[in-house]
Chains A and B, each alone.
Chain A
Amino acid sequence: LETFAGDQVLRVEPCNEEQVQLLKRLRAQQPLQLNFWRFPSFPNEPADVQVPFANLQNVKVFLESHQIKYSIMIEDVQAAVDEERREMDLNQRRER
């Protein structure tokens, strides 16, 4: 069962076409294991990307070095998944 402890989801906001292209190049970097929840498209349209804990620093450094604006959308993906699992267990017990 795959876990996502420490993974974050970043909302990235490219402000021009060059930054969009940089994000597309970032997306193609298989070793970073990025999971784009919303793909990069046009300037001023956000892209959301789940970044494994191990690669967070690399990705943030990449974004900052290219002055690409981002914010943390989900602080810890595993915490969100755990919460969802708790809700499902609770609901199952309630049904029975």
Chain B
Amino acid sequence: GRNSFNYGAYHPLETIYQAMDDLVAEYPQLVSKQQIGESYEKRPLYVLKFSTGGKNRPAIWIDAGIHAREWVTQATALWTARKIASDYGYDPSLDSLLNTMDVFLLVVANPDGYVFSHTENRMWRKTRSKTPGSLCVGVDPNRNWDAGFGGPGASNDPCSDSYHGPSANSEVEVRSVVDFIKSHGNVKAFISIHSYSQLLMYPYGYTCTNIKDHAELDNVAKMAANALTSLYGTQYKVGPICSVIYQASGGSIDWSYDYGIKYSFAFELRDTGRHGFLLPASQIIPTAQETWLGLKSIFEHVRDHPY
């Protein structure tokens, strides 16, 4: 881009938000910023909207970093934002997508947790909401969605890293996304970006039964994983959340699928080097580059299979 922003580094929240503003300023015809709510600690929740015009077009939703410590996801989202903006007009596949659909990208889904992971505890995963009667802070925001809430694979202990919270949507970070998706009314794909162990998953996590679109989503995910692998050979495992990683209730893509958004997927980006989410900064851009190929493969399928 025109500015000197370093996409190959990890940044504090303020720098990410500034980079989002810079992108909007650089591509005002394509990119805009919308605030969809405020975190528990009153930080704004911003989505970038990529749109070439038209009212209430079908849309693709992407969020990153709901688990605060998975820094490569927020970094990948920011890189992806610039990729979408800079490739529009040059990439026929992206052009045809954006000529019919909008893309919404929540770069930092859990800003309180992200700040806390930068300033206090690098291993922080949850929100920062307070639980009455407990000394422990925070809810796992990916156990807080209204999808088998409180079931297997979530904890009712406020001190646990997978605490599901007092009720579904109790976390304002989750509720804000739910409200946005519902009020939009025309979201056709919901993609959540995490990082750990290279997985591409689809519903369900709260139950180990197959969804009715299992065959199609499995096929889409395999195509996306192959596209991703083609760049650097990074191997992805593909399948439903329950069998690919573990049973987990209250997850975002289970909610989106049950809400009627057929194309619901979750990425777990690479941790080559066995560092978990402590991925060396030198791997941010390669991770983002390969992920982009996977995302584009999903975009193309969604674009070509309206429902």
Are A95 and B6 in contact, with the CB atoms below 8 A?
Answer: yes
* B25 interfacial contact with A, CB 8 Å: no
Please measure, in the bound complex, the distance between the C-alpha atom of A28 and the C-alpha atom of B11, giving whole angstroms: 34
Are A74 and B6 in contact, with the CB atoms below 8 A?
Answer: no
Are B196 and A88 in contact, with the CB atoms below 8 A?
Answer: no
Residues of chain A in range 35-62 having any CB-CB distance to chain B below 8 Å: 35-42, 45, 48, 50
Q: Determine how close the nearest CB of chain B comes to the CB of A13; give it in whole angstroms.
A: 13
Residues of chain B in range 136-165 having any CB-CB distance to chain A below 8 Å: 153, 157, 159, 161-162
Are A4 and B246 in contact, with the CB atoms below 8 A?
Answer: no
- Chain B residue contacts of A36, Cβ below 8 A: 161-162
* B76 interfacial contact with A, CB 8 Å: no
Q: Determine how close the nearest CB of chain A comes to the CB of B156; give it in whole angstroms.
A: 11
Are A35 and B281 in contact, with the CB atoms below 8 A?
Answer: no
- Asked, given contacts A30-B159, A36-B161, A91-B6, whether A74 binds B280 with beta carbons under 8 Å apart, the answer is no
Give the segment of B87-95, B115-123, B179-187, B256-264 that binds chain A.
Answer: B115-123
- Chain A residue contacts of B246, Cβ below 8 A: 38-42, 45
Q: Determine how close the nearest CB of chain A comes to the CB of B201; give it in whole angstroms.
A: 13
Please measure, in the bound complex, the distance between the C-alpha atom of A41 and the C-alpha atom of B152, giving whole angstroms: 11
Please measure, in the bound complex, the distance between the C-alpha atom of A80 and the C-alpha atom of B10, giving whole angstroms: 14
Are A81 and B278 in contact, with the CB atoms below 8 A?
Answer: yes
Give the segment of B211-219, B269-277, B290-298 that binds chain A.
Answer: B269-277
Q: How many chain B residues touch A (Cβ–Cβ < 8 Å)?
A: 32
Q: Determine how close the nearest CB of chain A comes to the CB of B128; give it in whole angstroms.
A: 14
Please measure, in the bound complex, the distance between the C-alpha atom of A90 and the C-alpha atom of B120, giving whole angstroms: 20
* B51 interfacial contact with A, CB 8 Å: no
* B231 interfacial contact with A, CB 8 Å: no
Are B276 and A1 in contact, with the CB atoms below 8 A?
Answer: no
In this complex, what residue of A is CB-closest to B279? A84
Q: Determine how close the nearest CB of chain A comes to the CB of B49; give it in whole angstroms.
A: 27
Q: How many chain A residues touch B (Cβ–Cβ < 8 Å)?
A: 31
- Chain A residue contacts of B8, Cβ below 8 A: 91
Contact with B along A1-42 (1 / 0, CB 8 A): 110100001010000000000000000101000011111111
Please measure, in the bound complex, the distance between the C-alpha atom of A38 and the C-alpha atom of B161, giving whole angstroms: 11
Are B123 and A91 in contact, with the CB atoms below 8 A?
Answer: no
- Chain A residue contacts of B281, Cβ below 8 A: 84, 87-88, 91
B residues neighboring A (CB under 8 Å):
4-6, 8-11, 119-123, 153, 157, 159, 161-162, 196-197, 243, 245-248, 274-278, 280-282
A residues neighboring B (CB under 8 Å):
1-2, 4, 9, 11, 28, 30, 35-42, 45, 48, 50, 73-74, 77, 80-81, 83-84, 87-88, 91-92, 94-95
- 20 examples of A-B residue contacts, CB within 8 angstroms: A1-B120, A2-B120, A9-B276, A35-B123, A37-B196, A37-B277, A38-B246, A41-B247, A42-B243, A74-B274, A74-B275, A84-B10, A84-B278, A87-B281, A88-B9, A91-B6, A91-B10, A94-B6, A95-B5, A95-B6
